[in-house]
């Protein structure tokens, strides 16, 4: 737990690459909105963008990132883009990697994940490893693997240990046990639904503990929750197509939650998931 206001903004992955701890999620955004949001986010300090084949917006994300690069706002090296192979492609993972690369048009993919467990996922992982060796992908990982057994199943066939596990993770469903287990591998947990996900955010934003802490720091509930993710060692990718929210969500580096506040938020865990995949 870090209560230092000079919180690190990146984490060094076991692959050797630095990954930003706060990024933009793009699920449900159309190509056009994803393009504008990715570009706007980068212009406002974001360096991590999360997409997936399944979201159908890799083209838009690629366009937004390339626009920011073309305008000299960032270099390719400064930007970290994640994509994922979806179950429909588990029988053709090498081609799926090439397809994602072509849609993004960024030369390489910083992090590529298996979107969820499924038939053939071990072969998919091997394809990701081939992608790393071929210089197409820098870091690889898995998503929606919740237990140490799930993780070990992939590790048994892996030559490259997963760098990231991206899971549903929020104040009501905290992946603490998995996070502690993964420490021995240097694998980091990344939170999807960091704000609870579309349709669920109000329950989190109106939580009494979160509201009290937000008032104390003169921050919004979203900012308190995101700060909690980062201070607890999670990477967070709040999804938004709203520019005011995109700016708000990265404005969390000028305050710190105290040890007591962190403990209060950790105590809100009720092992309650919003999804079942």
User: Minimal CB distance to ligand NAP: which residue?
Assistant: 239
Site pattern 120..159 for ligand NAP (x: CB under 6 A): -----------------------xx---------------
Q: How far is the CB of 120 from ligand NAP (least distance, A)?
A: 18
Q: How far is the CB of 182 from ligand NAP (least distance, A)?
A: 16
Among 111, 239, 261, 268, binds ligand NAP (CB under 6 A): 239
Which are the contacts of 139, defined by CB distance < 8 A and separation ≥ 6?
A: 13, 15, 17, 19, 110, 111, 112, 132, 163, 164
Q: Is 162 in the site for ligand NAP (CB under 6 A)?
A: no
Q: Is 238 in the site for ligand NAP (CB under 6 A)?
A: yes
Q: Among 17, 15, 8, 84, which residue's Cα sits nearest to residue 53?
A: 84
Beta strand pairing call for 18-20 and 80-85: unpaired
Length of the chain: 277
Beta carbons of 41 and 10 less than 8 angstroms apart: no
Q: Among 105, 113, 129, 111, which residue's Cα sits nearest to residue 17?
A: 111
Q: Is 245 in the site for ligand NAP (CB under 6 A)?
A: yes
Q: Is 56 in the site for ligand NAP (CB under 6 A)?
A: no
Q: Is 206 in the site for ligand NAP (CB under 6 A)?
A: no
Phi and psi dihedrals of 28, rounded to 5?
Answer: 80, -5
Q: Is 83 in the site for ligand NAP (CB under 6 A)?
A: no
Catalytic residues: 55
């Amino acid at each position: 737990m870090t209560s230092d206001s000079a919180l690190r903004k990146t984490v060094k992955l076991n692959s050797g690459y630095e990954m930003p701890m706060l990024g933009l999620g793009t699920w449900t955004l159309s190509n056009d909105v994803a393009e504008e949001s990715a570009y706007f986010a980068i212009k406002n300090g974001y360096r991590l963008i999360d997409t997936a084949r399944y979201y159908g917006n890799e083209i838009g994300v690629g366009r937004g990132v390339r626009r920011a690069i073309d305008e000299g706002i960032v270099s390719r090296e400064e930007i970290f883009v994640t994509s994922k192979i979806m179950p429909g492609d588990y029988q053709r993972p090498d081609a799926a990697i090439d397809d994602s690369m072509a849609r993004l048009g960024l030369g390489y993919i910083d992090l590529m994940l298996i979107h969820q467990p499924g038939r053939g996922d071990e072969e998919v992982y091997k394809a990701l490893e081939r992608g790393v060796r071929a210089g197409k992908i820098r870091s690889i990982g898995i998503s929606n693997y919740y237990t140490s057994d799930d993780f070990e199943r992939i590790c048994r066939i892996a030559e490259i240990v997963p760098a990231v596990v991206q899971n549903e993770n929020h104040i009501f469903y905290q992946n603490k046990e998995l996070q502690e287990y993964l420490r021995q591998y240097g694998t980091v947990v990344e939170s999807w639904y960091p704000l609870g996900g579309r349709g669920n955010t109000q329950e989190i934003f109106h939580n009494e503990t979160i509201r009290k802490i937000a008032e104390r720091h003169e921050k919004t509930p979203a900012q308190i929750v995101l700060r909690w993710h980062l201070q607890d060692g999670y990477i967070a990718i709040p999804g938004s197509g709203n520019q005011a929210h995109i700016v708000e969500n990265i404005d969390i580096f000028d305050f710190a939650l105290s040890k007591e506040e962190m403990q209060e938020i950790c105590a809100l865990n009720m092992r309650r998931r919003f999804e079942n995949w």
